[in-house]
Amino acid sequence: MKYKTIREGQQGLVTNHLGESLVVAGPCRLFLYRERIRMLNRITASQLQYLMIRHKDGEVEHRPGPCELFINPLEHETVKAIDMISLDANQMLVVYNQKEGNIQRRIVQGPILFAPTAHEWLHEFKWHGSDPNNKARMIPGKDVFNKLRVVPQHFYYNVNEVRTKDDVTLRVKLMIFYELRDVETMLVQTHDPIADFVNAVCSDVIAFAATITYEKLLKQTSVLSKLSTYSQLMRRSKHIGFEVTKVVYRGYHAAESLQTMHDKAIQARTELRLNTDLEEMRQKCEQMKLSKEVDRVEKQQQKQEAEAQHKHALERTNASTQRQCAEILHRAQLEKEALWDQARLDAAKGAKHADLEYLKGLKDLGVDLTRYLVRKQSRNAVDEEVEISAEQ
């Protein structure tokens, strides 16, 4: 016999000697006689969790948080607090539900905090995934997940044992970009889309390489980055609800011996190309020097010709100027002589006119002009004789 106190917020399971049990919630004080008490463990779930309760009768209950529960070993098999599933805007879940014997499927699109009910379960995807030690190698069943991403994604893959038309074996390195378009189609048509991509791209690359030689393949590697080369990949991706947006060719790898031969050939071609480039540059320099020399000679000739033309123009200008000056002087001399002649004529006319007026005046005075003129003429003759004698 003893007393037992159950504090507030606690619960206990009291069992008597007959095996009967009773859950007692605090606060209370019990007197135990031929009884024993077992304190019940308390479990809680936050607003980001839910409680998964498995009852003794096999029923499973999901109780979303925030909530609490005292684990009763007589009723509960297990009780767990499980985090809700957080979905981003580019994630979704495929959820199955059983109602009245029928299985239904629905798509849950993020962003959301999702807690499945007791009658629901999530689709588990198991796809090919990249090898951690070799990102270009795919391992079956490597990626196991429930959250389905609907954003553009990519993966690396190396297509091995690619044989060309001339029996050269290569490894072609690719990077494939894809995006999920139709979830329902994907769920119906495939269980591993990455495996479908790998198989389809292998078929396309092998079919492409089988029709051309090694040398042509090296010259046409840009074709391996075009979607038109991957017809099977495009058809298969569309059939399973995906879209392949881009395929990037990342190079190739050949056998060591072939690679060594190819490297030597590349080295030789590069050396020849460099020598050719150097020779072309040297020829261009010589041609440029010759062209510049010809231009310089032509410019010197043009300069000399321009100087000669300028000199001739100056001479012609000087001659023309001198000729014009001579003509001006000659015209001035002629004008001067004409003026002098005119002046003498005018003077003579004036003298004659004066004589005439003088004679008219004498006539008016009654002088006999005939006797006057004869006497004047005789006097002038005597004066001339005197002047001639004096000079002698």
Q: How far is CA 336 from the centre of its chain?
A: 91
199 in any annotated domain = yes
Ranking 258-262, 269-273, 341-345 by mean pLDDT, the lowest is: 258-262
pLDDT of residue 263: 65
More confident call, 25 vs 258: 25
Residue 204 has pLDDT above 80, yes or no: yes
For 255-270, letters b (16+ CB in 10 Å) and e give eeeeeeebeeeeeeee
Ranking 111-120, 157-166, 381-390 by mean pLDDT, the lowest is: 381-390
Final residue before a domain boundary, out of 210, 232, 254: 254
324 in any annotated domain = no
For the chain, the distance separating the N- and C-terminal CA atoms, rounded to the nearest angstrom, is 206
Residue 270 has pLDDT above 60, yes or no: yes
Residue 83 has pLDDT above 90, yes or no: yes
Helices (H), the chain: 183-189, 193-209, 214-219, 231-239, 256-364, 369-391
pLDDT of residue 319: 87
Final residue before a domain boundary, out of 254, 289, 320: 254
DSSP secondary structure string for all residues of 93-130 = EEEEEEETTEEEEEEEESSEEE---TTEEEPPEEEEEE
Average pLDDT, the chain: 88
pLDDT of residue 48: 93
- Do residues 118 and 209 make contact, with C-beta atoms less than 8 angstroms apart? no
pLDDT of residue 245: 94
Q: How far apart are CA 301 and CA 309, in angstroms?
A: 12
Q: How far apart are CA 217 and CA 208, in angstroms?
A: 9
- When pLDDT is cut at 50, 70 and 90, the band that residue 348 belongs to is confident
Residue 126 has pLDDT above 90, yes or no: yes
- When pLDDT is cut at 50, 70 and 90, the band that residue 260 belongs to is low
Final residue before a domain boundary, out of 200, 221, 254: 254
Contacts 24+ apart (CB under 8 A), 10-17: 10/39, 10/40, 10/42, 11/39, 11/40, 11/42, 11/70, 12/37, 12/38, 12/39, 12/40, 13/37, 13/38, 13/39, 13/40, 13/72, 13/73, 13/74
249 in any annotated domain = yes
The share of the chain scoring above pLDDT 90, in percent, equals 45
Q: Per the structure, how many domains does the chain have?
A: 2
CATH number of the domain where residue 233 is located: 3.30.479.30
**Domain enclosing residue 365, as ranges:** 357-391
228 in any annotated domain = yes
Residues 6+ apart with CB under 8 A from 14: 21, 22, 23, 24, 30, 32, 35, 36, 37
52 in any annotated domain = no
225 in any annotated domain = yes
- Segment 362-368 mean pLDDT: 79
139 in any annotated domain = yes
- When pLDDT is cut at 50, 70 and 90, the band that residue 169 belongs to is confident
How confident is the model over 214-245, as pLDDT tens digits? 888 888 888 999 999 999 999 999 999 999 99
More confident call, 15 vs 384: 15
- Segment 32-60 mean pLDDT: 92
- Do residues 241 and 194 make contact, with C-beta atoms less than 8 angstroms apart? no
Residues paired with residue 191 on neighbouring β-strands, in sequence order? none
Ranking 7-11, 103-107, 183-187, 347-351 by mean pLDDT, the lowest is: 347-351
How confident is the model over 3-34, as pLDDT tens digits? 888 898 899 999 998 888 999 998 999 888 88
More confident call, 159 vs 357: 159
226 in any annotated domain = yes
Residue 391 has pLDDT above 60, yes or no: no
